[in-house]
Structure 1
Amino acid sequence: MKSIRILTFLFLALLFFNFTLKEDYKPTVFIVGDSTVKNGKGDGSGGLWGWGDYIGQFLDTTKVTIENHALGGTSSRTFQDKGLWNAVLNKLKKGDYVLIQFGHNDDGPINDSLRARGTIRGIGNETEEIDNILTKKHETVHSYGWYIEKIVREAKSKGAIPIVCSPIPRNDWKDGKVPRNNTSYGLWAKQIADKEKVTFIDLNDKMALEMEKLGEQKVTGTYFYKKDHTHTSAKGAVLSASVIIDQLKESKNSLKNYILKDPKIILPPKKKVFLIGDSTMANNNDTNAVGWGVVFPAYCDTTSIDVINKARGGRSTRTFDHEGLWDEVKNQLQPGNFILIQFGHNDAGAIDKEKFRGSLKGNGDETQEVTLPDGSKEIVHTFGWYMTKFIREAKEKGAIPIVLSQTPRNEWPDNKAERRNDTYGKWSKEVADKENVFYIDLNEIVALQYDALGKEKVKAFFPKDHTHTGLKGANFNALTVSESIKKLKNCSLKDYL
């Protein structure tokens, strides 16, 4: 009797253990592919994302785990040659899923000193023997289909469930249509999926259909950027992921059991670009006095960044600080924000009378005590002192300052557009150099362009006075700022322009 009770206890314990294992089992969705699946480190650098970064938001991650192993620049061949596939294969267990998408890089050279990542076109068994110039190794190169089939078969051997996707479409248009790859990599991916009897997602065609519904004008700049026809923005990556999810819903693949009924898609927070300066940058609510900061957003990717124009007409570095305008901006700064700083037009004003906005000349530490109209005292510093304060306190917040010299006035001494390169432009540059921040000599850059245009054409930029531009002049200056930022070495803001 005792032995029967022991056996019964052991049997029940085994049942409980197996039940617990079954309850605790959580399959993993492994994702393999190129930069359209995970761009860079998957952190949205340059505003670019892959669909593998967002597909997890459509799935119930309390019941399934997501691992995005895609790597930019890889082909079906090099993903395996680099050992990236083996790293996934060694982790695979029965019931896991493997989402597979390659093709964008398979069309490259088979053997060169740059990437050597191409594969033989098609799904055949032909091979090419090479001495790899890049890796210095002898290698047998196979067809695209051979490499995809290898991944599929090896995943199946572990009891995992492969899902093959055709490569996402590029943002190329012809007569209002997006070209398909259904005679090349899309076709070959489908042929392998059919041969191996695994789920195929025609991501190329289905996403192209969605793009065509939106239209080229809306797709470009929102789902893709003008600078890049291959890699998607965050919204483009979500579109790709949503297409895969919709196709899974219509399939017999068990991954559809983990799809959320009402997914909450969270896009990455936008980076912020703050502008501080005077009326030549500010919104003055005057069509004849439009600051370039008003139209600057037109030259930015506003799906990824917000431009916050805090410039204020009539302000110098001194009054921007003394009136608390700087503290208001500083308290909003977050790590990774950008801040464009441009002053000088009003700093030459009176220090101790009239508008009480002048700052001391230069970049020194000298001060002057001033009695204000209300009887209070103010310690006035140099232009450079205030500029340094803005820069240092911005950097303390983790923000990235960009200093600009002031815009030129419509004045033409010696028949040349006005420069201020011996005063405020000079002092701005000295501060930027000392603090090791980005500097744009906007005064000189714009003045050179004014010289080339001539007095009469430039006159149309200044409908009110010799300092303030109208909309046409503001656009001219904003475009110049944008082009100048793009030329700054190692300035990541250019990725958002």
Structure 2
Amino acid sequence: MKALITFFLCACVLFCGAARTLAADEAVPAAKPTIFVCGDSTAKNNGKTKEGLQMQGWGTPIAAYFDPAKVTVSNVGHAGQSSMSYYNKDWPNVLPKINKGDYVLLVFGINDGGTPAGIGDETRPGKDGAEQHTYGWYMSKMATDAQEKGAQVFFLTVTTRNMWTNPKAKFKDATPIGELPADYDAKDDKIERGTAGGRMTQTTKDVAAKLNRPVFDLTNFCADLYEKMGREEVNKLYSDHNHTYPPGADLVASSIVSGLKALKDSPFVPLLSEKGKAVPAADAKYVSDNLKQ
């Protein structure tokens, strides 16, 4: 009898202990996912102009479009980097931080003039003798690395530069060279649509299609928006042809949120803050989901 009582007492202790452990486990909230912003100075730039004016990349203000209670935004961009230099110098430090359930935004191209073109596996020797891969190879490798860790990868085409043309006038970036002619019409101002004549934009789309990953055409979304705004208004947002002041960075950030919201079954929508919810989704023509059915 005494042995039976002892058995039941032990069982009760074990049961209660298990219950307490379960309750404690249930009380611990699941770790928040992280959105990693991987880009160049257009994404991360907290420097100042020669006049002392503050510059900013879009990776800073985009955090305000997401609910900090639901997701963390980590801007791991690096000014001056191409896809090749970012992969070689920054990616080894970024990749270990990426976990299952995270999101990775990849956008490069502004500084990739020296990166071998294409999306293939061909290589060439660099000046230092090191093997150089194509732009598409570096973008693909970073994407697949992140996916192997359980993250979802989303491509953005290269940011739109503040460089304008007009058949009746010449500009240095967005500033007229000399007096504007009498027959000048601002409606004919056209902004550059991607570096290398748009090649970087198309190559990013090709990489995304090859990997069956979504891509947002940030290049043409902003180009269309900027041409509606007009050259003079857009020029107020830029410190030069590449870099934005805080208002310009915020406009690019909101544009990216528009694109992310336009994705089919977008995983970003539940993570938005009130500010993010107020941003309209981009037209479907700017988004390619590329997901297998």
TM-score range, shorter chain: 0.7 to 0.9
Q: CA RMSD in A?
A: 2.6
Query: Unpaired runs of 5+ in structure 2?
Result: 167-188, 273-293
| Closer, same or farther: CA 63–368 of 1 in aligned 2, 3 Å | closer
Selected match of 2:112 from 347, 350, 371: 347
Greater RCO between the two (CA within 8 Å, min separation 6)? 2
| Closer, same or farther: CA 394–327 of 1 in aligned 2, 3 Å | same
How far apart in 2 are the matches of 1:335 and 1:477?
Answer: 27
| Closer, same or farther: CA 16–296 of 1 in aligned 2, 3 Å | same
| Closer, same or farther: CA 64–363 of 1 in aligned 2, 3 Å | closer
Query: Unpaired runs of 5+ in structure 1?
Result: 1-12, 29-59, 68-259, 349-357
Assess if the C-alpha contact under 8 Å between 2:124 and 2:132 holds in 1.
yes
Match of 2:181 in 1: none
Amino acid at match of 1:433: A
Assess if the C-alpha contact under 8 Å between 1:362 and 1:423 holds in 2.
no
| Closer, same or farther: CA 418–288 of 1 in aligned 2, 3 Å | farther
Q: Please list, as runs of the form range in 1=range in 2, the aligned pairs for 1:325-340 lying within 5 A after superposition.
A: 325-340=90-105
Selected match of 1:272 from 8, 30, 34: 34
- 2:240 pairs with 1:484: no
Assess if the C-alpha contact under 8 Å between 2:136 and 2:207 holds in 1.
yes
Selected match of 1:435 from 195, 202, 211: 211
- 2:167 pairs with 1:408: no
Q: Please list, as runs of the form range in 1=range in 2, the aligned pairs for 1:50-449 lying within 5 A after superposition.
A: 62=18, 266-286=28-48, 287-322=53-88, 324-348=89-113, 358-372=114-128, 377-414=129-166, 415-420=189-194, 422-449=198-225
How far apart in 1 are the matches of 2:138 and 2:203?
Answer: 11
User: 1:391 Cα deviation (Å)?
Assistant: 1.1
How far apart in 1 are the matches of 2:81 and 2:115?
Answer: 11
Match of 2:175 in 1: none
How far apart in 2 are the matches of 1:64 and 1:284?
Answer: 48
TM-score using structure 2 length: 0.75
Assess if the C-alpha contact under 8 Å between 1:338 and 1:493 holds in 2.
no
Assess if the C-alpha contact under 8 Å between 2:46 and 2:54 holds in 1.
no
Match of 2:281 in 1: none
Alignment length (residue pairs): 244
How far apart in 2 are the matches of 1:466 and 1:429?
Answer: 23
Match of 2:280 in 1: none
- 2:210 pairs with 1:458: no
Amino acid at match of 2:105: L
TM-superposition CA deviations, 1:43-85 (whole Å, max 9, x none): xxxxxxxxxxxxxxxxx75456979xxxxxxxxxxxxxxxxxx
User: 1:382 Cα deviation (Å)?
Assistant: 1.6
| Closer, same or farther: CA 313–65 of 1 in aligned 2, 3 Å | closer
How far apart in 1 are the matches of 2:8 and 2:134?
Answer: 72
User: 1:264 Cα deviation (Å)?
Assistant: 11
Between structure 1 and structure 2, the one with the greater Rg is: 1
TM-score using structure 1 length: 0.46
Which SS does the other structure have where 2:41 is aligned? coil
How far apart in 2 are the matches of 1:478 and 1:450?
Answer: 14
| Closer, same or farther: CA 371–61 of 1 in aligned 2, 3 Å | same
Percentage of matched positions with identical amino acids: 31
Q: Please list, as runs of the form range in 1=range in 2, the aligned pairs for 1:24-63 lying within 5 A after superposition.
A: 24-25=11-12, 62=18
How far apart in 2 are the matches of 1:366 and 1:381?
Answer: 6
User: 1:265 Cα deviation (Å)?
Assistant: 5.1
